[in-house]
Structure 1
């Protein structure tokens, strides 16, 4: 496929309104069929035909095999965006230290929002402190489809420890309050709930609870309100639970 044709075909994937990509449903599609054979797929990662390379990369979205990592990192720099995004999702299943660096480097230079979204999803699986800054930047400045997954990926950083959680919280609170896309605000609410569960009761924790309560009471989108409520219930903060009970008694829900 020529570069112009690739850009024409995938141009809408950079739009603010396109939040879902085909590989979002890859797991569900493949549940009905047996997993691919890695011995068959490994050579195809370096096949001469682009379609074969893409098929092999997609196979490693299901297969964990260290032997595929080097080839997948090479595919991350392919001219075809469909191959790059397949490689990004596959590397999200096949992580090592070199993969983290390669994903971050590609995120910073890739023109295609479809690919950047896949990379941001993969970074959420890395459990590496290096992913924090790129994910925060993606949540602040990228298109809505990428911001959506950046928020979710930030919500997975609690295993990195308290400092990483504290560093992620301000961007998530800002996204919950100000992002123009309701789905992104919802994911920020979910992520704050995930991080809040692992935090001690301090001023940062109080800020998380306050921002979720603010979204619950003031966000114009009912889906965001419901996700903020679910996060507060998940955290189990006594003050928030009492406020939720009072709102329910007043017929707010």
Structure 2
């Protein structure tokens, strides 16, 4: 769907990071320095682009449901910096009211950074309506968006059984075939998260097989380690036995 040559072609570590990774820890001093919600709410309606961007970015720290309608509207702003800030703001203030607008913006936005923020926000909304968009993103989008689509699909664990079994096949496909190791690693982590919500059935067994395959066959050490960690968290006896056997053979 999207060309690898768009605005995230030259992918680096920062492109793959979560929007949360660069936020300072919340302590008493940080709390005191937070923006004033009333002032930021007013600025969301500002005619000046930089003020709208500043206000939308403030709600990446602030949680206030009054901002949600404004942030939804700003998803369509002409400035991509405002749109991406609005998307991350909705990720911090998740709402089922935002899901349809986030899906529409994902499908229409040319900017990879915005789609990345939208995918992250959709995961935090934990709504089944986001599932088709997240599946499309992990299959067709640029690397940074695929990476966060994997993380967001893991959030389907709290949505319900049907969402979990729909999320696992595209994650396994990406775990096997995605050319970017960081994406495969996130897929391994996500599959492990979803397995913890499944009974011991065919879907569960297929997911465990995918993680075992990654441990044995993936060319990237980091992916193998993340698949191993996912299996250890799940505690599947078959997976634990394979890990023990590989460790005894010096292959892990």
> TM-score, normalised on structure 2?
0.92
Runs (5+) with no aligned partner, structure 1: 1-10
When structure 1 is superposed on structure 2, of 194-203 and 95-104 the one drifting more is: 95-104
Separation in structure 1 between the aligned mates of residue 195 and residue 211 of structure 2, nearest angstrom? 10
Question: Could you tell me whether the CA contact under 8 Å between 2:6 and 2:112 is conserved in 1?
Answer: no
Runs (5+) with no aligned partner, structure 2: none
Report the equivalent of 2:247.
Answer: 248
Question: Could you tell me whether the CA contact under 8 Å between 1:89 and 1:121 is conserved in 2?
Answer: yes
Q: Say whether residues 1:189 and 2:188 are aligned partners.
A: yes
May I ask how many residue pairs the two structures share in their alignment? 243
Separation in structure 2 between the aligned mates of residue 126 and residue 175 of structure 1, nearest angstrom? 23
Report the equivalent of 1:28.
Answer: 24
Equivalences for 1:57-72 in 2 at 5 Å? 57-72=56-71
Separation in structure 2 between the aligned mates of residue 26 and residue 41 of structure 1, nearest angstrom? 21
CA deviation map 1:139-164 (0-9, x unaligned): 00000000000000001111111111
Report the equivalent of 2:106.
Answer: 107
Equivalences for 1:1-253 in 2 at 5 Å? 13-15=7-9, 17-18=11-12, 20-21=14-15, 23-28=19-24, 33=30, 34-253=33-252
Over 3 Å counting, the alpha-carbon distance change for 1:133 and 1:159 in structure 2 is same
Question: Could you tell me whether the CA contact under 8 Å between 1:84 and 1:115 is conserved in 2?
Answer: yes
Offset at 1:17? 2.0
Offset at 1:196? 0.4
Separation in structure 2 between the aligned mates of residue 138 and residue 206 of structure 1, nearest angstrom? 25
Question: Could you tell me whether the CA contact under 8 Å between 1:103 and 1:123 is conserved in 2?
Answer: yes
Separation in structure 2 between the aligned mates of residue 25 and residue 227 of structure 1, nearest angstrom? 19
Separation in structure 1 between the aligned mates of residue 210 and residue 11 of structure 2, nearest angstrom? 26
When structure 1 is superposed on structure 2, of 11-20 and 110-119 the one drifting more is: 11-20
Cα RMSD (Å) of the superposition? 1.7
Offset at 1:97? 2.5
Over 3 Å counting, the alpha-carbon distance change for 1:174 and 1:163 in structure 2 is same
Question: Could you tell me whether the CA contact under 8 Å between 1:18 and 1:145 is conserved in 2?
Answer: no
CA deviation map 1:15-61 (0-9, x unaligned): 16245348454423776633221012111111122111111101101
Offset at 1:14? 2.6
